[in-house]
Amino acid sequence: MSGLVSVKVEFSGGLELLFDNQRSHRVSVPSHVSTSGKKTLNNNEGTDAGEGRPADLAHLILWLRDNLLKEREELFVENGTVRPGILVLVNDTDWELEGEGDYQLRDGDDIVFISTLHGG
Amino acid sequence: MPPRLCALCNEARAILKRPKTGQQICKECFFWVFETEVHNTITEAELFKPGDRVAIGASGGKDSTVLAHVMKTLNERYQYGLELFLLSIDEGITGYRDDSLETVKRNQQQYDMPLKILSYNELYGWTMDAIVSQIGKKNNCTFCGVFRRQALDRGAASLHVDHIVTGHNADDIAETVLMNIMRGDIARLGRCTLICTQGEDTIKRSKPFKYAYEKEIVMYAYFKKLDYFSTECIYSPDAYRGHARVFLKDLEAARPSAIIDIIHSGETFEVKEEVKATQKTQQTCKRCGYMSSNELCKACTLLEGLERGMAAAAVTERARKKLDAEGPAPENLRTIPFYQQAHPPTNAAGLPI
């Protein structure tokens, strides 16, 4: 199996400003993440794909922070998830109906982040 | 996971969890309940009468864009008989308001409503850019807030409207309740949850989105693909409000009903008569004719401070005294044009919608 999952990510409501002012991105993230947060010696022995748990939305959020975000991280992530006031949609469905951060990413998923925090 | 069905129609797939009720509903039911709740807010408060001329305060942002769309929809669906206008204030902030006004101009086409834009520069002779270059970023929100309020009323008067509606939502109102508590501003606390306010002789102002959650407004805009503008004002936002906002969002994350609960608390506070009595009686500004609680209205005081190079004058009491000590305002001082309240013909039916 492939070691990457490819998803479309969109930012709006002002969030795009943190991501190089670009609204739409296509990203490929590791399809599995190490089960422990820290690297252990055992990691060196395993193959890089198919190990650990499947990548979920919580993982994608941290991946975006580490790989795509350009500035002011605190406006996107807080306590390991998106900051309160940011809406998330998975394939045009409120992520609250999809298990939020536990939603397992699938190839071709369309993930939208909208900030509600900007002026009305 | 099997797709969850809509709790209302039991047919379509649910796409949204309502923060107010926790219900999981589909797109079409969401549009319907969102619009119907706003309609109920309007009819229960008897906000309008057939024939009313109503200006929608439009900034190009999400709230006012959704408000314009929903007002147009409801006016047609329930035959309110309203004449709707878009009213925008151009504060003169390069890179912020000039861009958002382009959105409003597109809204004018999309919604087929007349648009009036009134600028600070036209009314006061100062843009926010010029004000900030004189006074810096601290306190600039005070100028902007005072100037916008009066500009909206004046713009509305020139359109001969009876009523201004604004996009303030439930989150905004809950935030204001918290801020008034934190500032000890009990007189304002009593007023800030009112859906409709009216000064002595100014135009009515109301908030049809008083009970609409920000999350739903943004979702509505997203699913309807409405065209709105979202960038933070480039001049430092009101820091105190920012704290209230973050606090409220944290509360909402833990318990979504917090927003409506705080509004409810605000509505049911009983403000003592003595506290109400400390509010100064309304009069008319001797310089510009706008309603005021002092001889000079706040906008005239701020403008005088700017013109005389003592911009802090209306912000602190001490600076105001210093301004007065410098002598009376010079004869040739730039002032705001005298305010003439439009008296539109009253409609024959006169019954609320």
Domain boundaries, chain A: 4-32+53-115
What pLDDT is recorded for position B276? 64
What pLDDT is recorded for position B278? 62
Please tell me whether B63 is known to bind a ligand: yes
pLDDT, tens digit, for every residue of B19-78? 988 999 999 999 999 999 999 999 999 999 999 999 999 998 999 999 999 999 999 999
> What percentage of chain B carries pLDDT values higher than 90?
50
**Adjacent-strand bridge partners of B115:** B86
- Closest C-alpha to B118, from B83, B84, B82, B147: B147
Q: How confident is the model at residue A43 (pLDDT cuts 50, 70, 90)?
A: very low
Chain B residue numbers with beta carbons less than 8 Å from the beta carbon of A14 are 230-232
Please state whether beta strands A24-30 and B163-165 pair in parallel, antiparallel, or not at all (unpaired): unpaired
- Cα B164 from Cα B151, distance rounded (Å): 12
What pLDDT is recorded for position B342? 54
What pLDDT is recorded for position B2? 64
What pLDDT is recorded for position A62? 94
- Cα B218 from Cα B126, distance rounded (Å): 33
A4-32+53-115 topology per CATH? Ubiquitin-like (UB roll) (3.10.20)
Q: What is the dihedral of CA B255, B24, B64, B243, to 10 degrees?
A: 20
Highest mean pLDDT among A65-79, B25-39, B98-112, B317-331: B25-39
What pLDDT is recorded for position B217? 96
| Residue A2: pLDDT over 60 | no
Please compute the mean of the pLDDT values over residues B201-212 and round it to a whole number: 89
In the predicted model, what is the mean pLDDT of chain B?
86
Other beta carbons within 10 angstroms of residue B307's beta carbon come to: 18
A79 — contact with chain B (CB < 8 Å)? no
List CB contacts of A34: < 8 A, sequence separation 6 or more.
A43, A51, A52
Q: How confident is the model at residue A53 (pLDDT cuts 50, 70, 90)?
A: confident
Quote the minimal CA–CA distance from A54 to chain B in Å: 16
Please tell me whether B212 is known to bind a ligand: no
What pLDDT is recorded for position B233? 74
First-last CA distance in chain B: 46
Instruction: Set out the domains of chain B in order of their start, with CATH numbers.
Output: 47-279 (3.40.50.620), 284-339 (no CATH)
Q: How confident is the model at residue B1 (pLDDT cuts 50, 70, 90)?
A: low
Q: Six-digit token pair at B334?
A: 């730039």
Highest mean pLDDT among A26-40, B198-212, B318-332: B198-212
**Amino acid making up residue B109:** Q
pTM for this predicted structure: 0.88
Contact B1 A17 (CB under 8 A): no
CB B215 within 8 A of CB B16: no
Nearest CA in chain A to B223: A92
* Residue B99 to residues A77, A92, B153, B274, B291, Cα–Cα distance (Å): 28, 28, 23, 46, 32
| Residue B169: pLDDT over 90 | yes
What pLDDT is recorded for position A34? 75
Quote the minimal CA–CA distance from A94 to chain B in Å: 5
**Option in A12, A87, A119 nearest B219 (CB):** A87
Q: Which helix (H) or strand (E) holds A62?
A: helix A57-67
Q: Six-digit token pair at A64?
A: 């975006």
Please compute the mean of the pLDDT values over residues A32-45 and round it to a whole number: 54
Nearest CA in chain B to A88: B219
Positive or negative: CA dihedral A44, A49, A52, A58: positive
| Residue A46: pLDDT over 50 | no
Contact A97 B249 (CB under 8 A): no
| Residue B348: pLDDT over 70 | no
| Residue A45: pLDDT over 50 | no
A14 — contact with chain B (CB < 8 Å)? yes
Q: How confident is the model at residue A73 (pLDDT cuts 50, 70, 90)?
A: confident
Please compute the mean of the pLDDT values over residues B227-231 and round it to a whole number: 82
Quote the minimal CA–CA distance from B79 to chain A in Å: 27
Please compute the mean of the pLDDT values over residues A8-26 and round it to a whole number: 92
Which alpha helices (H) appear in chain B, and where do they start and end? 27-44, 62-77, 97-111, 120-124, 128-135, 140-158, 170-183, 186-191, 214-223, 239-254, 258-268, 273-277, 298-307, 317-325
Q: What is the dihedral of CA A97, A101, A107, A111, to 10 degrees?
A: 70
What pLDDT is recorded for position A107? 94
DSSP label at residue B51:
T
B304 — contact with chain A (CB < 8 Å)? no
What pLDDT is recorded for position A91? 96
Contact A87 B249 (CB under 8 A): no
**Option in B15, B61, B217 nearest A92 (CB):** B15
Higher pLDDT pick, B317 / A29? A29
Please compute the mean of the pLDDT values over residues A43-49 and round it to a whole number: 43
- Cα B59 from Cα B74, distance rounded (Å): 20
What pLDDT is recorded for position A42? 44
| Residue B191: pLDDT over 90 | no
Please compute the mean of the pLDDT values over residues B261-268 and round it to a whole number: 93
Q: What is the dihedral of CA A56, A57, A59, A63, to 10 degrees?
A: 130
ipTM reported for the complex surpasses 0.90: no
Please tell me whether B167 is known to bind a ligand: yes
List CB contacts of B266: < 8 A, sequence separation 6 or more.
B173, B174, B177, B189, B192, B193
B62 — contact with chain A (CB < 8 Å)? yes
Higher pLDDT pick, B18 / A39? B18
Residue B89 DSSP SS3: strand
- Cα B297 to chain centroid distance, Å, stands at 20
What pLDDT is recorded for position B33? 97
Higher pLDDT pick, B121 / B203? B121
Please compute the mean of the pLDDT values over residues B75-90 and round it to a whole number: 96
Higher pLDDT pick, B303 / B99? B303
- Cα B277 from Cα A89, distance rounded (Å): 50
Contact A112 B222 (CB under 8 A): yes
Cα-based angle A30, A87, B195 (whole degrees, multiple of 5): 175
Please compute the mean of the pLDDT values over residues B250-271 and round it to a whole number: 90
Q: Burial, B137: exposed, middle or buried (Cβ in 10 Å; 0-12, 13-18, 19+)? A: exposed
